[in-house]
A and B are shown apart, each in its own frame.
Chain A
Amino acid sequence: MLILECPYCGVMADETELSPGYEAHLKRFGPGSSDQEFEDYMFARKNPKGVHFERWRHAYGCGKWFLAARDTATLEVFGTYPAQSKAPPMALQDKIRARRPDWKGFA
């Protein structure tokens, strides 16, 4: 039962208020893409032990989608940020690097 801070409401939302949306920062591949690109987009999900970026929706709150940076092993939450982001904010990336020196960085 995680707690994530909704970056829109600012509330520490209980997992029961949230619905999960799996991996964040996927690039959509539509018509014209190769089989390999489409397969990666649809099915090739990261499954790291450690730092991970995820989509969550404050479904039983403000209804907004947001993104979360989380350690999948310890469940530490490094931060949350709006879904309308191409990459995690630099400040958040710096914080993750400080907490997890061996993190290979956002790719």
Chain B
Amino acid sequence: MSTRLSRGGRLIDRSQAQEFTFNGRRLRGFAGDTLASALLSNDQVLVGRSFKYHRPRGIVASGAEEPNAIMNMGAGGRFEPNQRATTTELFAGLTATSQNHWPSLEFDIGVVNNWLARFLPGGFYYKTFMYPRAAWKHVFEPIIRKSAGLGRAPKEQDGDRYEHAYAFCDVLVAGGGIAGLQAALTAAAAGKRVMLLEQTAQWGGRAPVDGVEIDGAPSDTWVNAAIAALGKMPNVTLRLRCMVAGVYDHGYVLADEKIADHTPGDGRPRHRLWRIRAGKIVAATGAIERPLSFAGNDVPGVMLASAVRDYVVNFGVSAGDRTVVVTNNDDAYRTAIVLAEAGLAVPCIVDARPSVTGDLPARARALGIRVETGKAIASVKGTKRVTGVALCMQEGEGAVLEHIACEAVAMSGGWSPVVHLWSHCGGKLTWDAAQGYFAPDATRPPTGHDGAAMVVAVGAANGAFGVSAVLDDVQAGMRTAGNGSGVETPARRKEDAFKTTEIQPVWIMPQGAGIKLKAKMWLDYQNDVKVSDVQLAAREGYESVEHTKRYTTLGMATDQGKLSNINGLAILADALNAAIPQVGTTTFRPPYTPVPFGALAGESRGDIFQPLRRTPMHEWHEQHGAYFEPVGLWRRPYCFPRGGENHAQAVVREVDNTRGSLGILDASTLGKLIVKGPDAGRFLDMLYTGVMSTLPIGKCRYGLMCNENGFLSDDGVVARIDEDTWLCHTTSGGADRIHAHMEDWLQCEWWDWQVYTANVTEQYAQVAIVGPNARKMLEKIGGMDVSKEALPFMSWADGVLGGFPVRIYRISFSGELSYEITVPASLGLAFWQACHTAGVEFGAMPYGTEALHVMRAEKGFIMIGDETDGTVIPQDLNLAWAISKKKQDYLGKRGQERSFLVRADRWKLAGFETLDGTVVPDGAYILAEGVNDNGQRNTQGRVTSTYYSPTLKRGIALGLVLGGLDRIGDVVSFNTVTGGKLEARVVDPVFYDKDGAKQNV
């Protein structure tokens, strides 16, 4: 029985009972409990099932390293899987369910895998993937899918909000234990801007639990004084429940602050993600206790010795009336002492070391606790909970000496520094053979932008154990980091007089255990990796620790091997007959513990997922029922459905109305770049394939831009404004990219050319008045001569139209009589409305991007991104007419001369009309005879644009085909998604008004 003790529990408030549910059962805990301590206080020892064998799993740890007690938390919009019960603060109304069990936690069908254990060895997945192939798909995968998998993905949208915070500091201290507090005091006293972040809800770390005294007083007193002092300093920021997730290049740090995890629905953001630039990072992250590898070390009730101690001291919860302590070091004796002092039984301390003479063992012995040295645990009795242990000699093979009945086993294999933050950015480690851990190598730290060390590890994270060693280490570390030593190190520490017996690294217990025992020694509890699996991997030739990790899944569970890694690689090293440092560690990667996606996303969700660009007429479009489509960050009306129309019907109406009378388009998103200066013409001649320097003032010219590879990158109409000014229209999505492209060449290649560029896309609204009645409408508005003579096709003019200052371009992307009119953006909506008012008598209608696309395709005009995909040159699109033959150079000219781009058999642009009048599917290929080496059908072209043409009342398409225009008249076959064929005739790509008579009137 695990239960609540009648007294004790420094973190709980017994006056505040809190009800919660676990697997639907109503249970009671106290304010200050973690979910784990509350479960234990209700004798809920069994809390989950393991990943592969569905073995019963109990709480092992008391902190972030917990591999077993991971829960589905909450429900609905607050459902979240894979939450560690040990770091979840209890609150009234908390609901949790265990994971990975079916049909129930108590009776799990998947435990059958346990009996199949010998068929599921390390590397099982890889072996079955390989052979036999059919078995995977039909036998193994369906079974594994059913029984495997931990938490489920939430089904509902996250009901909480999250936020990001940005901060800068000189010194960021990760960890609010004695080491972190002292480091923060030191740096703060030196005048540094300090952030001190602690992942739990309390300051002080382990010291208060372990009865440490500083300055002759309990460590709690010192901790409270330190926090009080730091809290008064304006240069110090303190944050609890704030886990430093990762250290990145040049001192960038991410930290995840749990604000409302324990107060859901109180209106605050659930998490706050801190994005911090730190000058120096102090890793005061402490250490994690290692389990011992003995048979049955995964039975619920086997816990880390430190955790057993934590539950008694912090929460007044005992793991069992009788606890056997098994250890290879002195520290675990604290647990035995704490248990005895709490009135609980410790039948035996099983110590693998041959003799033990330290002060802590002496105290344990004085309390009457039996200490068995040179002994080990041969096996643990019990399945869903511990009922006893069998003892054996550590040096033997496991012959049982005696049985001891108990409800809990407290194990300690020593402590490993938490080196994650040191290692994230490349800090190297050294192996301490005596203590059996990897510690930061101060001579090979992670370095920052200035080449200096950017992380300092202090205290237990640096391998300094015991309060004296910790405080000395902080002082030394902070001095090295150049962050002052202005604070007196507390002088008198109780531990100074401690005598200890050295730890003796124990990787297998007993050392001569045979395969039967080793197949029951768990390394990774969550992923079910055992000593025997790692040894098998070594026998099968896995020598790299990184390969072994992936092959066996050791350390790949949600705890990322916090408990298992050191033990696992010690086993691997032994199996390979290599030294542990030669085998090395796997890479430590952020985050230290999982960070919710919600926290990473922050406010970037829903309407503000990304910036939205709106034209000045956007609201009008919304009010007139526009159906929008994204174009870059813009939203553009796709069409304006009326009545009961569907989108296709609306597009047909908009095209017919524009070609028949008058259409009005919001063209404001069109890119508008001003290029100005004495060398502007010369610059544009390099940028465009055609010649822009000779363009007369007042005229417009269509131009193509290529990259240095020669591939078509953007197109648009260029207008010559005055002697040294051009206005370049780009595609809607391309304005920023092309502006950056211009600046790149101006700043980095032709920096002596006098040219100035400005992106004025958003400074102007642009309205296209399109259709045979366009001129009549403008004449009705009045104010400018818009006649053919005054404003011929491909020219522009400034003037005043209906009181609006305008610039009118006579350009057409539809093939109709067309005026594109720009006004200052602030007048855009008013002008747009004026156009619609004036257009009433002509039946003017707004049209959207789809009608625009259909009309341009009917005219055979290309669209960047449809006809081009980064592999198409202008020559492929029959646009050689827009490429100057005279110019010595332009961007892309040399690229286009490459052999594969001048080949005669390149696919070239042509038009297509299906024989049956239907529309060619998007993405269809033109089939050729035979198959290629992979057995795939050969192709000779592909569709690039395909629409139903309201004007021709049939399907039309543009596409690239072998032979291009030479193929006119041929009938080719497009493939369809369903495997069929669609026959189409190759035709001229200009389907409508080939001579351009309609636009040039």
The residues of A with any CB-CB pair to B shorter than 8 Å are: 1-4, 14, 19, 21, 28-33, 35, 38, 42, 55, 57, 59, 63-65, 71, 74-77, 83-84, 99
The complex places the Cα of A31 from the Cα of B252 at a distance, in Å, of 45
| Cβ contact of B249, chosen from A33, A35, A75, A99, cutoff 8 A | A75
Whole-angstrom distance between the Cβ of A6 and the nearest chain B Cβ:
13
- Give the chain A neighbours of B709 by CB distance below 8 A: 42
Q: Annotate B356-373 by CB proximity to A: 1 below 8 A, 0 otherwise.
A: 000000000000000000
Cβ B893 vs Cβ A84 within 8 A: no
Which 6 pairs across A and B sit closest by C-beta, in order of nearness?
A1-B252, A76-B451, A65-B747, A84-B751, A3-B250, A77-B449
List A contacts of B251 (CB < 8 A).
3
Pairs A–B under 8 Å by Cβ, sample size 20: A1-B248, A2-B250, A2-B449, A4-B449, A14-B277, A28-B749, A30-B894, A31-B889, A31-B894, A38-B894, A38-B895, A55-B748, A57-B743, A57-B744, A64-B747, A65-B743, A74-B447, A77-B449, A83-B751, A84-B751
Known: A2-B249, A31-B893, A42-B708. 4 other contacts (CB 8 A): A3-B250, A32-B894, A57-B743, A71-B451
Alpha-carbon gap, A94 to B573, bound state (A):
45
A55 to chain B, nearest CB (A): 7
Residue of A nearest to B896 (CB): A31
How close is A23's CB to chain B, nearest CB, in angstroms? 12
Task: Given the known inter-chain contacts A1-B252, A3-B449, please indicate yes or no for A65 contacting B748, CB distance below 8 A.
Answer: yes
Interface residues of B (CB under 8 A from A): 248-252, 277, 426, 447-451, 708-709, 740, 743-744, 747-749, 751, 888-889, 893-895, 897-898
| B744 and A74 contacting across the interface, CB-CB below 8 Å | no
Cα–Cα distance between A76 and B449 once the two chains are bound (Å): 5
Q: In this complex, what residue of B is CB-closest to A33?
A: B894
- Residues from chain B with a CB closer than 8 A to the CB of A29 are 894
Chain A residue at smallest Cβ distance from B893: A31
**Contact between chains at B250 and A57 (CB < 8 Å):** no
Chain A residues within 8 Å of B894, by CB = 29-33, 38
Cα A2 to Cα B708 with chains together (Å): 29
In this complex, the member of B249, B277, B450, B748 whose beta carbon has the largest number of chain A beta carbons within 10 angstroms is B748
Inter-subunit contact B451/A31 (CB<8 Å): no
Report Cα–Cα, A71/B897, bound state, in Å: 37
Contacts of B888 in A (CB 8 A): 31
| Contacting residues, chain B, for A57 (C-beta < 8 A) | 740, 743-744
Residue of A at shortest CB range from B452? Answer: A76
What's the nearest-Cβ distance from chain B to residue A9, in Å? Answer: 15
- Closest residue to A77 on the B side, CB-wise? B449
A28-B749, A31-B889, A75-B249 as given contacts; A3 in contact with B447, CB under 8 Å: no
Q: Which of A42, A75, A76 contacts B895 (CB 8 A)?
A: A42
- Asked if B748 and A83 sit within 8 Å, CB to CB, the answer is yes
Cβ of A59 to closest chain B Cβ, rounded Å: 7
A57 to B742, CA, bound (A): 13
Are A30 and B893 touching (Cβ within 8 A)?
Answer: yes
Q: How far is the CB of A1 from chain B (nearest CB, A)?
A: 4
| Distance, CA A14 to CA B451, complexed state (A) | 17
> Closest CB of chain B to A65's CB: distance in Å?
4
Q: Contact: A75 with B751, CB < 8 Å?
A: no
Q: Could you tell me the distance between the alpha carbons of A53 and B28 in the complex, rounded to whole angstroms?
A: 63
Report yes or no: A1 in contact with B747, Cβ–Cβ below 8 A.
no
Which A residues lie within 8 Å of B252 (CB)?
Answer: 1
Provide the bound-state CA to CA distance between A107 and B448, in Å.
26
* The one of B250, B449, B744 that contacts A21, using a Cβ cutoff of 8 Å: B744
Question: In the docked arrangement, what's the CA distance between A64 and B449, Å?
Answer: 21
Report whether B895 and A1 are in contact in the complex, using a CB–CB cutoff of 8 Å.
Answer: no
The reply to whether A63 and B250 contact each other, CB–CB distance below 8 Å, is no
Nearest chain A residue, comparing its CB with the CB of B897 = A31
Considering the chains assembled together, what is the distance between the CA atoms of A14 and B250 in angstroms? 10
In the complex, A14→B889 CA distance in Å? 37
Closest residue of B by beta carbon distance from A1: B252
Q: Which residue of B lies closest to A35 (CB)?
A: B898
Do A99 and B451 form a contact, CB below 8 Å, given A31-B897, A42-B708? yes
In whole Å, how far is B597's beta carbon from the nearest beta carbon of chain A?
Answer: 20
Q: Establish whether residues B747 and A84, one from each chain, have CB atoms under 8 Å apart when the complex forms.
A: yes
> Which of A14, A33, A35, A83 makes the CB contact (< 8 A) with B747?
A83
CA distance A74 to B444 in the complex (A): 11
Q: How far is the CA of A4 from the CA of B249 in the complex (A)?
A: 12
Question: Known interface pairs A65-B748, A99-B451. Does A75 touch B893 (Cβ–Cβ under 8 Å)?
Answer: no
Q: In the bound complex, what is the Cα–Cα distance between A4 and B250 (angstroms)?
A: 10
Tell me the minimal C-beta distance from B811 to chain A in angstroms. Answer: 29
- C-alpha gap A31/B894 in the complex (Å): 5
List of A residues within 8 angstroms of B889 by Cβ: 30-31
